[in-house]
Amino acid sequence: MIYMKIVRTGILAMLALFLYGCNTDRTSREGEKKPSASSGAPKVGEQKTTDSAQSNEPPASPQASGAPMSSSRKLAAVPAASLATLKQVGGVHGSPTAQFATQGPGVAYVEPVEGKFRVVHNGKPGKVYRAINQLIISSDGKRVAYVASIDEKIRKTVIDGREGYEFGADDNHWFTPDGKLYVSTTTEGDAKYIVIENKISRDYRIVQVPVLSADSGHMGFTVKTSGGTANQFIISDMKLQNKTVFDSCGEYIHPSDDGSRVAVGCLNGEQTIVKVIDFSKRRVVEESRYSGTITHMKFSMYNNALSYTYFNDKNQRFVVYNGKEEKIPDMDEFMTDPVVLAAPQSVAVVIGDVYTVRLYRAFQKKNKHGKFYGYISDLIGSRDGRHYAFVAVAPGEENQFIVVDGREGVKFDKIVSPVFSPDGNYLLYRAREAGKRFVVVSDLKGKIVRRHPAYDMVFQPVFAADGKSVSYGVLDGNEFWRKVEILDK
């Protein structure tokens, strides 16, 4: 009676954030496949040196991290020969050339050595390889992993200096949020398996990229049944022993930002059901059935509820939230993930065509349509759901500016990865102007409260537990620093 399929847009586990950089490309068009860190990512040494984006490392969660650093600290001095490699735009393509720990002073970067490459982690250089990509560092900065080219055909994971299993074009790897475990996938023929701390488990042939819980204690993944005719979604402990099985589920997997829930697609005859599962309790907490093709899906930071967009066989497009759906105007497409807002309660999403886009607020009685722009990206909401922000460009222009609750901010050459402070009173983003990069703090009217010092490279800020300061990595000349700055001073 009802059938639904999902457009696969490179959805990865929330905690694959440690894998690859923020995408600073223009707004994704509906149905486009977004690049992932595991799909043909170019290797360091195979890219052209070009103007760096604000950062080539992963975006941080807008939630406070509790990072222990309380003052700025120099972490490493970089040889002059390494600077050009560091400034390659690797992060956009899933191959960062430098990574900072989010909850400690660790740093790792790729260093060229006579036409080859090695990773330097906390001052200690590793083995030299033909090429290196997918550099990641644990949250506490104590561990490092990457993918190294052994020869022209074979690539292997390298974890804390030890070579692991072969790494295929569709494989992926992570550290758990607490940094204690390393998890990857490996492909053998037509089978894909999970590897934990360099120990492979061939008990499960997985068909979807695994997702990890925020407490680092659980993993969710999809496997084929023994007959190969159906999928099962499994939640297990990190030893892959204590498991809960959801039959006919796992057509797709989408985790919440906080790692507490996961949405999975489940088949029931000709029906497809969206099930929301509590990760720690391992039980279904919400179900919905809709006919069509899902294009975007997002859990709300505000209330952890699921919203998504889809289109049906009549090419009509809908926003779905809390058991309700609303059709958007004909001829418009969805451009971003939806964002649930609280005042008034609505779901914000960017819609438009190849020429102009605008913010649309579904389930709101008045003022549904926002101003038209040339493009919009990075739509986000505050933790309490009372505010929204996005990066915009006016039609026919190139400079970017932030828009907060409909108010436009100052224009820069480029803006990337805006994020609200934990209390929702400030907005932070990284900007570029005249070749220099810096962090900007604005108020909720888009007015600049503070512009931090400029550096050669600036990495994503992470909030302190009290929300009053931020820390972030920078490349200042030939030195890596972890900077700690007060928000509004």
Task: Please report the pLDDT score of residue 329 as a whole number.
Answer: 95
Q: Which helix (H) or strand (E) holds 462?
A: strand 462-463
Task: Report long-range pairs for 127-131 (Cβ below 8 Å, ≥24 apart).
Answer: 127/158, 127/161, 129/158, 130/45, 131/43, 131/44, 131/45, 131/46
Supply 338's token pair: 């939806």
Note whether 117 and 31 are within 8 A (CB).
Answer: no
What is the pairing mode between strands 448-451 and 173-175?
A: unpaired
Tell me 93's DSSP state. G
Task: Please report the pLDDT score of residue 90 as a whole number.
Answer: 45
Q: List, edge to edge, every strand of the sheet that includes 243-247.
A: 211-212, 218-224, 231-237, 243-247
Task: Please report the pLDDT score of residue 95 as a whole number.
Answer: 66
User: pTM (2 decimals)?
Assistant: 0.83
Task: Please report the pLDDT score of residue 88 as a whole number.
Answer: 65
Alpha-carbon distance of 162 to 174, in angstroms, equals: 16
What is the identity of the amino acid at 284?
V
pLDDT < 70 positions in the chain: 1-69, 88-95, 270, 488-489
Q: What are phi and psi for residue 92, nearest 5 degrees? A: -65, -30
Task: Please report the pLDDT score of residue 475 as a whole number.
Answer: 93
Task: Please report the pLDDT score of residue 284 as a whole number.
Answer: 96
Q: What is the DSSP string of 152-206?
A: SS-EEEEETTEEEEE--TT--EEE-TTSS-EEEEEEETTEEEEEETTEEE-S--B
Q: Which CATH architecture has domain 4-355?
A: 7 Propeller (2.130)
Nearest CA among 192, 246, 188, 194 for reference residue 219:
194
**For 19-74, how does the pLDDT look when each residue is reduced to its tens digit (9 = 90+)?**
333 333 445 456 543 323 333 333 333 333 333 333 333 333 334 444 445 788 99
Annotated domain spans of the chain: 4-355
Supply 178's token pair: 């607490």
